[in-house]
Structure 1
């Protein structure tokens, strides 16, 4: 009498296990990366924005500087553009183990205009350099970034509550603000920084830290969903670098890196009507970008030697020359950057009237 009952129990258990297994497989399928390739993006018949021709000139075949000439990453500063997993100066209210929060509304609603539309030109005159540096570098006679007129900063949650008026008064004319990384992380200070930088009269732009374990299309969609399309904003930035501290240990081939970058940049260019700027560091540039993307503006990190020595075959638009800047507007250190041109060229480029080449 008990045998049929046992058999029924076993059959029911197997069915339940089968359902559970199927549910697990479905969950895994949802997380599979798509087979997205560059060809999946339909390119516009003509460039959306004027291509900085200074970046489009054929690069020379000069050899890269030996690795001994490239400064190691400063362990006392955030990695690259303040990548979240390696920062040393968290905001007091954000402990080291805190994870970036994601605004639920960003997942289901279109981008919100976080502030008034900025005019095409600068809100005020260029403020001269007034920063201090905890680790100043002698870049050589005539090569100091101080000889260039227009300085700025890049910030993320790790700078905490920024006093933008003080930062502006000390010499920040522009700010690149961390917006997103990967396909699901939104910097919790982005909205506040985006509004307040504009209110203080800085030209502002947003950057995305590229995550090599997510598809490019997902990441582009996430950035577009969270970064407003605002008149007068600086072009968006894709931050590409190797980060040994990241949870993603994948290092795609050069071919795959270029493909993913192109997909991401095509989507942003179509949406914002501006050609994205590529930020990179020496090792990533050496492995992937030398001789590539000649019609894109570059923002290069070179904190020990002049970019001409670290990137001898590359025209550049912005130079990140220090990760140890000091300002009355922030607690701790801040990345310092400079525009490659004089005040007239800056106003013309930032206002969208001429390309970088025309300014040279």
Structure 2
């Protein structure tokens, strides 16, 4: 009887110990992360860089409308302005349909004025054409050589430019890559901006428009980085399809025009100059034919005269070569020409900038 009772007591103790041990293991397992995964949260492999705070207003209704991506894809082609080997943005792109809210502390700082403002008129005579071309085109009677005022556009891909030599070669003006998207600044912009002016060229800045960012954010980024300086040429919005860009969106024509208008209005209010629209044949065909008739255009046409490529479109600048050669630059450089004689150039570059002046 005693033995049986002792055995029963021992068995009962072992059972209680087993239950207590199992409960302890379960309690420890509750502290571990669940092995279950879902697709509702995507964890990045590395920390995400913060987006620079460069937004200065909330989105308009046009910007907050959903994006349309119904345009067909097309194979990559040579870029227009001399900047885009790649478009590498350091931060993830926010949805175009919702612009992030911002606090007053994140607003754009006042424009930075350079210590030496450019004079309102040209200081010296126009330098005559002296460029060579690795792939010369015979434009016949419409040759750009018949026009008086030539210039270039540059970006980081031209490296360290000797602006004095470039000026002597025939560059009277330079459009300099400043920004693209909402967070990328060309690393050579500040140096090119100052040195072009010091060499006596009229200079302006351009922005490569990125279709995966809101127009307001891009305008604020450009304003944050490009000084408002007396005598500078009007800012340029570069709109084209870029097959190498990380942004694959091709908005509808309606959305393209809305976004461009938001961007250009913002720049015109800030700089007091109507922006110039740079474009290429395919983008023009898809979006700009018959649009923005009261804006100056800068047209890429490297095989035929602009009148053949863009019928009935008045133009201010013509990019006639992407294979120019010049002292002061290693490699090739884009060549451009102003639509007018030397007198028209002096009047336009001196501040009386209207579309009619050069057409």
- 1:183 counterpart = 2:206: no
> Does the CA-based 8 Å contact 1:100-1:185 persist in structure 2?
yes
**Alignment-derived partner of residue 320 in structure 1:** 319
Cα RMSD for the two superposed structures: 3.3
- 1:195 counterpart = 2:218: no
Secondary structure of 2:121's match? coil
> Does the CA-based 8 Å contact 2:179-2:206 persist in structure 1?
yes
282-291 vs 348-357, which moves further: 348-357
> Does the CA-based 8 Å contact 1:215-1:260 persist in structure 2?
yes
- Deviation, structure 1 residue 82: 2.0
**Alignment-derived partner of residue 282 in structure 1:** 281
- Deviation, structure 1 residue 329: 1.1
| Separation in 2, partners of 1:209, 1:359 | 24
| Separation in 1, partners of 2:151, 2:89 | 25
| Separation in 1, partners of 2:275, 2:209 | 13
- Deviation, structure 1 residue 305: 0.2
**Alignment-derived partner of residue 66 in structure 1:** none
> Does the CA-based 8 Å contact 1:320-1:335 persist in structure 2?
yes
**Alignment-derived partner of residue 249 in structure 2:** 250
> Does the CA-based 8 Å contact 1:114-1:191 persist in structure 2?
no
Structure with larger Rg: 2
Using CA pairs under 8 Å that are at least 6 residues apart, name the structure with larger relative contact order, 1 or 2. Answer: 1
| Separation in 2, partners of 1:100, 1:213 | 11
Structure 2 CA distance for partners of 1:9 and 1:324, relative to 1, 3 Å: same
| Separation in 2, partners of 1:150, 1:2 | 90
> Does the CA-based 8 Å contact 2:77-2:243 persist in structure 1?
no
> Does the CA-based 8 Å contact 2:83-2:157 persist in structure 1?
no
**Alignment-derived partner of residue 138 in structure 1:** 138
**Alignment-derived partner of residue 157 in structure 1:** 156
- Deviation, structure 1 residue 313: 2.2
With structure 1 as the length reference, what TM-score do the two structures score? 0.77
Secondary structure of 1:212's match? coil
**Alignment-derived partner of residue 303 in structure 2:** 304
| Separation in 2, partners of 1:73, 1:148 | 28
- Deviation, structure 1 residue 37: 3.8
**Alignment-derived partner of residue 113 in structure 1:** 113
> Does the CA-based 8 Å contact 2:58-2:216 persist in structure 1?
no
- Matching of residues 2-81 of structure 1 within 5 Å: 2-13=21-32, 36-37=59-60, 73-74=77-78, 79-81=79-81
Secondary structure of 2:318's match? strand
Structure 2 CA distance for partners of 1:354 and 1:320, relative to 1, 3 Å: closer
| Separation in 2, partners of 1:328, 1:165 | 9
| Separation in 2, partners of 1:100, 1:122 | 37
Structure 2 CA distance for partners of 1:115 and 1:321, relative to 1, 3 Å: farther
Structure 2 CA distance for partners of 1:38 and 1:192, relative to 1, 3 Å: farther
- Deviation, structure 1 residue 5: 4.0
- Deviation, structure 1 residue 320: 0.1
**Alignment-derived partner of residue 129 in structure 1:** 129
Secondary structure of 1:192's match? helix
| Separation in 1, partners of 2:216, 2:89 | 21
8-17 vs 160-169, which moves further: 8-17
| Separation in 2, partners of 1:269, 1:40 | 18
> Does the CA-based 8 Å contact 1:38-1:263 persist in structure 2?
no
Q: What are structure 2's unaligned runs of at least 5 residues?
A: 1-19, 65-75, 92-105
| Separation in 2, partners of 1:225, 1:354 | 24
> Does the CA-based 8 Å contact 2:169-2:326 persist in structure 1?
yes
Q: What are structure 1's unaligned runs of at least 5 residues?
A: 42-71, 88-98
| Separation in 2, partners of 1:320, 1:359 | 15
Secondary structure of 2:314's match? coil
- 1:82 counterpart = 2:82: yes
Structure 2 CA distance for partners of 1:35 and 1:223, relative to 1, 3 Å: closer
